[in-house]
Structure 1
Amino acid sequence: MFLRILSDPFAIVLVVLFFGASIFIHEYGHYIAARWRKLKIERFSIGFGPRLFGWKDKQGVDWRVSLFPLGGYVALPQLADLRGIEGAPDDEADPLPPISYADKMIVAAAGAFFNILFALGLGSILWVTGIPVSEQYESTTVGYVSSQLVDSDGMEREGPAIRAGIQPGDTILAIDDQPISNWEDITYAITTGVRRSASGNPKTDILVERAGEQLNLEVFPILDEFENIRRIGMAPANSLLIGDVMENSPAERAGLGKGDEIKAVNGEPVFHTVALSRLIRDNPEKELQLTIENDGNERVISLTPEQVIYNKAGDTTPMIGVRWQQVLDTRHYNPVAQVVDAVKVTFRVLGALIHPQSDVGIRNLSGPVGISYTLYVISQIGILEVLSIVVLINVNLAILNLLPIPVLDGGHMAFATIAKIRRKAIPANVIASAQGAFMLIFLMIFIYVTFFDVGRVRRNESAITEGEQSMDERVPIQFRGPVEKTIEDQPEQ
């Protein structure tokens, strides 16, 4: 399963570099703040638990990599008692002088601050270089609606979107009364939705515009077969822009060429390549009237799909003989806007996670395995896309670490604030017990999340392997063009 991943050392280096750097930057923020505030620093650790390897610097700080890759920490005995995490100290040193409330808050918040600075730095790079963005990402127009979806019980059911009356060409204006600006908004609004019907089933209210009229539609999402999150079965519109035409194909004979865009079939608009593929499959060897646009000029042509043999088993399928060209636009997003968007996404997911009416659960989160695999997959696209994901990861780290939970930075800040209000220090054994308990909880969550992360990796890699095997079975088609790649179902939401 992992052979394909291990065979790409450059991608592995990128994953280790950026994921490790995000953790290092966070902990380095604590380290710098502690040096500034003149706190005693014992250890700088990437990971928790037993020491694997490392070194000591001239100041006596133990720089180490530890066994459990759950994050990292800087051991600051004046800020936090780590006995609940690491057990009793090796030696009983002289008591250290207490530090001020301001020192505690500054040092505890410094890690998140450095993550935000790192995110802004990476965002600035993307602002200057620009990042390729698919037209589908920026679309709010429905391109394709699934007739069937598989639910969490493995049963095929009618697609919720098509059942509710959503049609290709509809423009999504709002979901659950929240305005929509791109397809990512649509995806998050559906998956993190919290509305339910009177019977307790998931429910989503979608405002669409169709032919100048606004319609309020009630949609009842199903829970996904694998992730157990809400889906309704629709995909964003994309341009049917021809990138290449196969030799001797029906498309070539009809005069289609690179740069032509298919706008309609038999007078009906088409908004997605999958929709055209289905039309061709449903009308084998029947003449189709295609409305074509190129450079503002429109024309209508006729062509008939041909049945062609596409694999060694002799199976046939109707094709017209074109390859699609993906439409990308380079966007220069303001770095502050990038961070703000990442903050919104993080709080949206956190809100869904704790909301009793949501279907988002801990199993839907990603741990180190899932994050690393995501970085690996994105690295196959390009380094700029990796930087964009790392911006989100760093904002995630900043916000999550500020939650008022023992072990996290926010927990240290909460303990310090409680002590400030009480005007009395919290007993060290209470803090140690709380940290030990929550460390155990985090370890169990880590194992639980990793189980589902590995499952996702296995499914994705198996699908890729099956696709490669399927391609190996392909044969040159009858009109002697290369294998057509236009009839690939695209991800649906």
Structure 2
Amino acid sequence: MFEFLFGFWNYVIVFLVILTVVVFVHEMGHYLVARWNGVKVEVFSVGFGRELFGWNDRSGTRWRVSMLPLGGYVKMFGDADATSTTGEKRELTAEEKAVSFHHKRVGQRAAIVAAGPMANFIFGILVLAIMFLVLGQPRTAPVISEVRPESAAAEAGLLPGDRILAVNRSEVGSFQEIQQIVRLRLGETLTLRIDRDGQIIEIPTQPRMEEVRDALGNLQMAPVLGIMAEAGATEIVRHNPFTATWEATKETAGMISNTFTALGQMIVGTRGTDELGGPLRIAKGAGQAAQLGIGTVVFFTILLSINLGLINLFPIPMLDGGHLLYYGIEALRGRPLSERAQEYGFRIGLFLVFGLMLFATRNDLIDLRVWDLLRGVVS
């Protein structure tokens, strides 16, 4: 019974808390910029479905917590539903048009829609900056302490004591940077610039695909050089508010860039799509993060917030990026697409999002070995 309660807390409650935080941040971005542009917000909902409790503020917005805590939405005046489709068929009065989302300039509408993902990115930067300011930023010197026998590094001739200065002409200042570069260079030969006892040399090497554990303990196939850092080479770099924010911004930009690189590799087929995960794998990651401590939970929340912002910027109708695509076309044409064209786009977007969710859920079930469990039960 205790194990069940412990698992429920780690894998369900922590997951829902993290998801609620990142969704609230996303919708707050939409809400704030909508209000700044004079749009009336009718509903701000955390969760979907029937309202559990809520209240009205002075501007007429209904703030509510709903039964299904797997998302949220902001409903603006004139919307038919949470996807910001036009709902009003009657002619609006001048006063109503002044507070209607659909009667704002295209630039204002684009800013309101883009504010959700931007809020997720800003949240990630601010929380990461606070972590760097309070706890410091761990940084491991790019010095090799051990070369694993028969590894790619051993075959290339790397030696303990070598300091890696650059990878493919990109300068590196920490062992963490080397790991990030290697993980994203599938099947590529890397040229390492090495400082060996004061002598600068260049050594080509090709990482090998091996099964490794990520920061949360999950097994996955990834490129590996086969080198390890010095145990005592990690230092905690202390920052002031300005340098903490700058380093957090660089880290966030790196996460975004790495995600786009990985997605591009999946599209061209050089990286497996089994890395795509859905709610079940996110819940699993939240539970694993909870077992590693509050710092890991906070970092997991930052990562999820950034990924939520990225996903919503995909140019798929129904997502924020799809609305931005429509507004871009409207700005070029001088008039919006017809309602019929937008409706067809919405249907295509719904199909794509639903298909992606099914595929991600399939990956989750495989990762959680549900199919193996079912086969064991049946047999």
Confirm or deny a common fold (TM above 0.5). Answer: yes
Matched-pair contact (CA < 8 Å) for 1:40–1:77: yes
Aligned to 1:299: none
Residue 379 (structure 2) pairs with residue 393 (structure 1): no
> Which structure has the highest helix share of the two?
2
Counterpart residue identity of residue 33, structure 2: A
- Structure 1 counterpart of 2:340: 429
1:424-482 Cα offsets, whole Å, 9 max, x none, are 211123223223322322232233334434555569xxxxxxxxxxxxxxxxxxxxxxx
Question: What corresponds to 2:210 in structure 1?
Answer: 224
Equivalent position amino acid for 1:189 in 2: I
Mark the CA change 1:349 to 1:116 in structure 2 (over 3 Å): closer, same or farther: closer
Mapping of residues 222-301 of structure 1, within 5 Å: 222-225=208-211, 227-239=220-232
**Equivalent runs, 1:42-191 vs 2, <5 Å:** 43-45=43-45, 51=49, 53-54=51-52, 57-58=55-56, 59=60, 61=62, 63=64, 65=66, 69=70, 71-76=71-76, 94=90, 97=97, 98-131=103-136, 133=138, 137-147=139-149, 158-191=150-183
For 1:345, the aligned partner's letter is M
**Aligned pair 1:329/2:329, yes or no?**
no
Number of the residue aligned with 1:316: none
Does the C-alpha gap of structure 1 residues 367 and 343 become closer, same or farther in structure 2, counting only changes over 3 Å? farther
Could you say if the C-alpha distance between residues 211 and 20 of structure 1 is closer, same or farther in structure 2, counting changes exceeding 3 Å?
same
Spell out the pairing of 1:344-363 with structure 2 (5 A cutoff): 344-355=254-265, 359-363=270-274
Residues 104 and 144 (structure 1), Cα distance of their counterparts in 2 relative to 1, 3 Å cut: same
Amino acid paired to 1:236: A
Q: CA deviation at 1:108?
A: 0.7
Shift of 1:233: 2.5
Q: For residues 376 and 132 of structure 1, what CA distance do their matches in structure 2 show? A: 24
Q: Quickly say closer, same or farther: Cα 1:72–1:406, change in 2 above 3 A.
A: farther
Is 1:378 the equivalent of 2:376? no
CA distance in 2, matches of 1:230, 1:186: 12
Q: Which has the higher contact order (CA 8 A, sep 6+)?
A: 1
Change in CA separation of 1:125 and 1:221 when aligned onto 2, cut-off 3 Å: closer
Q: Is the 8 A contact 2:110 2:327 kept in 1?
A: yes
**Aligned mates of 1:166, 1:458 — CA distance in 2:** 38
- Please state if 1:340 is matched with 2:250: yes
Q: State how far apart, in whole Å, the 2-side matches of 1:100 and 1:140 are.
A: 51
SS of the equivalent of 1:166 reads: coil
Give the structure with higher Rg (CA): 1
Partner of 1:470: none
What is the distance in 2 between the residues matched to 1:328 and 1:375? 27
Q: Percent identity, please.
A: 22
Amino acid at match of 2:153: A
How far residue 216 of structure 1 moved from its aligned partner, in angstroms, is 2.1
Cα distance in 1 for residues equivalent to 2:319 and 2:42: 18
Structure 1: 5+ residue runs without aligned partners? 148-157, 195-200, 240-270, 272-326, 460-493
Instruction: State the superposition RMSD in angstroms.
Output: 3.7
Q: Which moved more, 1:342-351 or 1:227-236?
A: 227-236
Could you tell me the TM-score, scaled by structure 1's length? 0.60
- 1:171 CA drift (Å): 1.6
Amino acid at match of 2:141: S
TM-score, structure 2 as length reference: 0.75
Aligned: 1:211 with 2:197 = yes
**Measured at CA, do residues 34 and 438 of structure 1 come closer, stay the same or move farther in structure 2, by a change above 3 Å?**
same
CA change 1:32–1:420 in 2 (3 A) is same
Q: Does 1:416 align with 2:327?
A: yes
| Displacement after TM superposition at 1:358 (Å) | 7.4
Mapped contact 1:404–1:410 kept (Cα < 8 A): yes
Question: Which residue of 169, 180, 193 corresponds with 2:185?
Answer: 193
Distance in structure 2 (CA, Å) of the matches to 1:219 and 1:395: 32
Aligned to 2:25: 25
Task: After TM superposition, give the deviation of residue 27 of structure 1 in Å.
Answer: 1.0
- TM-aligned CA deviation for residue 105 of structure 1: 1.7
- 1:418 Cα deviation (Å)? 0.8
Any conservation in 2 of the 1:362–1:449 contact (CA below 8 Å)? no
Q: Secondary structure at the match of 2:292?
A: coil
Distance 2:112 2:128 in 1: 25
Q: Which runs of 5+ in 2 are unaligned?
A: 98-102, 212-218, 371-379
Alpha-carbon distance in 2 for matches of 1:104, 1:55: 30
The question of whether the paired residues in 2 share the 8 Å contact of 1:230 and 1:359 is answered with: no
Partner of residue 298, structure 1? none
